[in-house]
Chains A and B, each alone.
Chain A
Amino acid sequence: MAIERIFDIAGSALSAGSVRLNTVSSNLANAETVSGTPEGAYRARQPVFASVLAGQVGAQTPQSTGVQVLGIAESAAAPRMEYRPDHPEADADGYIYHSNVNVMEQLADLISASRSYQTNVDVMSTARQLLLKTLELGR
């Protein structure tokens, strides 16, 4: 039966969505962190999504697709430098390195991620309703 697979699909999307929400909150939490070296500066993280076949190949419907997180990519943008010789973290030239998190971008991503999450919760509850109704068939 296909309805049960919807739980797998929506579940995979929820799990991927929570990874995305996690990275966004981590990015926002670290938006103001500074470092003494360019390498040590926090870099914005983002999960890489890929679709995955939920059913086995050769099954009745191998077309169903869930989501998986392939990995977490770090932003390659250069960290912002600031001349702050008084800062305890400052390097020999008096510079500190801010994280390269773009707060506006992250907030927009947060809205998008929470909308996707809601959508998948709705899908799951609809599937549950349909399944329960189906169980009552012929009563």
Chain B
Amino acid sequence: MTMSIDSALSLHADALRLREQRTEVLAGNLANADTPGFKARDLDFAGLLARQAAGQSPGAALAATDPRHIGRSALDSPGSAELLYRVPTQSSLDGNTVDPHLEKAAFAENAVRYQATLMILGSRINGLRTAIRGE
């Protein structure tokens, strides 16, 4: 059986990174709950993870037809994700589209899932350690 440490951890490490980014985005939404004109944003987590697992960089690929073109990979490092705007159900008059309840729920859910990923990652590490020790 061939199993590298990298492949044993990589998907969950990517998931952890995305969860972390989503936590940040949602914290930004909650921080701007009263900022006029602020538009709530979020990550498409499932889509991003699927693309990451398939080894594609997020966002559309750009063809470099000239050697002087700067590739997208130079602009965004792997793991960075493009943000989508949330479709507001009831935006306020000042143009703010943050729904605090929705964001709080998403934040709590994301925190739990972050911990779940962390736990899985931890048990993977422990499993690998057991395999290495051979006890």
Please tell me the number of chain B residues within 8 Å of chain A, measured between CB atoms: 35
List the B side residues contacting A139 at CB < 8 Å.
122
Write the B54-66 contact mask toward A (1 if CB under 8 angstroms, else 0).
Answer: 0000000000000
Secondary structure of the B contact surface, majority rule: helix
Q: Are A9 and B27 in contact (CB under 8 A)?
A: yes
Q: Are B24 and A133 in contact (CB under 8 A)?
A: no
B10 to chain A, nearest CB (A): 15
Q: Is the C-beta of B125 less than 8 angstroms from some C-beta in chain A?
A: yes
Q: Are A13 and B111 in contact (CB under 8 A)?
A: no
Asked whether A67 and B25 contact (CB < 8 A) given A60-B80, A133-B115, A137-B121, the answer is no
Asked whether A126 and B125 contact (CB < 8 A) given A12-B31, A51-B32, the answer is no
Tell me the bound Cα distance from A54 to B134 in angstroms: 47
Q: Is the C-beta of B83 less than 8 angstroms from some C-beta in chain A?
A: yes
Tell me the bound Cα distance from A65 to B24 in angstroms: 9
Q: Are B80 and A137 in contact (CB under 8 A)?
A: no
Q: Are A50 and B35 in contact (CB under 8 A)?
A: yes
Q: Is the C-beta of A66 less than 8 angstroms from some C-beta in chain B?
A: yes
Tell me the bound Cα distance from A54 to B27 in angstroms: 12
Q: Are B83 and A65 in contact (CB under 8 A)?
A: no
Q: Are A67 and B35 in contact (CB under 8 A)?
A: yes
Q: Are B28 and A60 in contact (CB under 8 A)?
A: no
Asked whether A130 and B27 contact (CB < 8 A) given A112-B34, A137-B125, the answer is no
Q: Are B125 and A138 in contact (CB under 8 A)?
A: yes
B70 to chain A, nearest CB (A): 12
Q: Is the C-beta of B86 less than 8 angstroms from some C-beta in chain A?
A: no
List the A side residues contacting B32 at CB < 8 Å.
13, 49, 51, 65, 67
A53 to chain B, nearest CB (A): 10
Q: Are A6 and B23 in contact (CB under 8 A)?
A: yes
Q: Is the C-beta of A18 less than 8 angstroms from some C-beta in chain B?
A: no
Q: 9 A-B Cβ contacts within 8 A?
A: A5-B24, A51-B38, A64-B28, A65-B31, A66-B28, A67-B31, A116-B34, A119-B100, A138-B126
Given pairs A60-B80, A123-B30, A126-B111, 13 additional interface contacts (CB within 8 A): A2-B23, A3-B24, A5-B24, A10-B27, A13-B31, A51-B28, A65-B28, A67-B31, A119-B33, A127-B23, A130-B23, A133-B118, A134-B118
